Amino acid sequence: MPTDVIMPMLGMSQDTGKVLKWLRGEGDAVAKGDPLLEVETDKVTVEIEAPAAGTLSGISAAEGEDVPVGRAIAVVLAEGEAPSANDAAAAAPAADGADPAPAVVKPPSDRSSRRPLASPKARRLAEERGLRIDEIAGSGPNGAVVAADVQRHAPAAPAPAPASFEVGSVWRVMAERTQRAWQEVPHFFLVREVEATRLEGWRASVRRRAGSETVTHTDLLVRLVASALREHPRVNATWHDGTIAGNEDVNIGLAVAADDGLVVPVIAGADRLELAEIAARRADLVTAARARRLKPADVQGGTFTISNLGMFGVDAFMAIVNAPQAAILSVGRIAQRAVVVDGAVVARPTLVLGLSFDHRVVDGAAGARFLDTLAALVEEPAGLVR
């Protein structure tokens, strides 16, 4: 196969090279390494050597012509090879100008109709940067595009930043609030695994009632937490500039993952609502949150927050306190787990309650007492079942 003489890339930002002077002519016998022509860039003048031994043929770049780097400007024919119709000279406009200029200048290589040569890494990099291999000048063997060529080429076009994600207003608010809470609130955490047999039974019986078919575990927990907060007003309080402000109402926020970030709509006066009312309010708020239709009033005034990741298969976790509130409940999934009952290991549905507190408002003992009340309610919600 004829060996292409390529206009080389001699500098990092070089796009073209000017043919200054051909040192050898069409049909000359050349040895590998013989100087063939002089090329000038904006910085240097260099001699281009024959890439192989044979006969110089198909010279397609005239003296004084600027040629894109990577383009074949002649071929060296091995012994016995004939110039092909596709060789550089044949594809180039005739020197005497008799022919009309072709509308499209085809890349003067017998590879022009084939897949452009490129290393696997170069192809992958080009694809990642949204580049076409045939737009990139190759510096590898036979003009193959190698990784360095793609990397040199990429800065020219502003490549799409593949790793950047949009930060919308909802996400920004979440980022700021969680960062401030994590930096300012002295957190501590309590964990307790509780049996969920009766909670499950409660939900099943509620769901048999007309209008309550869609009551969720979260709804039940809102109801239970609201009752527990009534008994433990300190957990329902707020840290405010060195003072602890109690809250008259029990307003429970629900952490809802919307497409554009976490939002926390609030079920106000949760301790005074019937379960069906909680379920209806929760459904409205979640729908509005996902549709980005929450009104300012829907997200204000929360005194406690519940975050439930049980539906994602999470066993247990510890949420960041939703400041200025004093505490947040992290709810894991309900699963059959081994528990000891009367000295025997048996399988029971359980869930793990995680509580994160602001230690400026609630200390460990007060937090533990709240958790104890809540655990008792989850395990035996009889007093609340209606």
3-class secondary structure per residue, the chain: CCEEEECCCCCCCCCEEEEEEECCCCCCEECCCCEEEEEECCCCEEEEECCCCEEEECCCCCCCCEEECCCEEEEEECCCCCCCCCCHHHHCCCCCCCCCCCCCCCCCCCCCCCCCCECHHHHHHHHHCCCCHHHCCCCCHHHCECHHHHHHHHHHCCCCCCCCCCCCHHHHHHHHHHHHHHHHCCEEEEEEEEECHHHHHHHHHHHCCCCCCCCCHHHHHHHHHHHHHHHCCCCCCEEECCEEECCCCCCEEECEEECCEEECCEECCHHHCCHHHHHHHHHHHHHHHHCCCCCHHHHCCCCEEEEECHHHCCCCCCCCCCCCECEEEEECCCEEEEEEECCEEEEEEEEEEEEEEECCCCCHHHHHHHHHHHHHHHHCHHHHCC
Cβ closer to other proteins: 42 or 128? 128
Cβ closer to other proteins: 121 or 209? 121
What's the min distance (Å) between Cβ of 2 and other proteins? Answer: 21
Can 187 be counted among the known catalytic residues? no
What's the min distance (Å) between Cβ of 120 and other proteins? Answer: 5
Please provide the distance, in angstroms rounded to a whole number, between the alpha carbons at the two ends of the chain: 89
Cβ closer to other proteins: 9 or 361? 9
Cβ closer to other proteins: 149 or 298? 149
Cβ closer to other proteins: 12 or 338? 12
What's the min distance (Å) between Cβ of 119 and other proteins? Answer: 5
Q: How far apart are CA 197 and CA 341, in angstroms?
A: 13
Cβ closer to other proteins: 147 or 318? 147
Among 217, 232, 240, 359, which one carries the catalytic annotation? 359
Structure token digits, residue 229:
């907060």
Give the footprint of other proteins on this chain (CB under 8 A).
119-124, 139-140, 146-148
Structure token digits, residue 135:
């737009």
Cβ closer to other proteins: 125 or 334? 125
What's the min distance (Å) between Cβ of 384 and other proteins? Answer: 57
Instruction: Give me the active site residues, please.
Output: 359
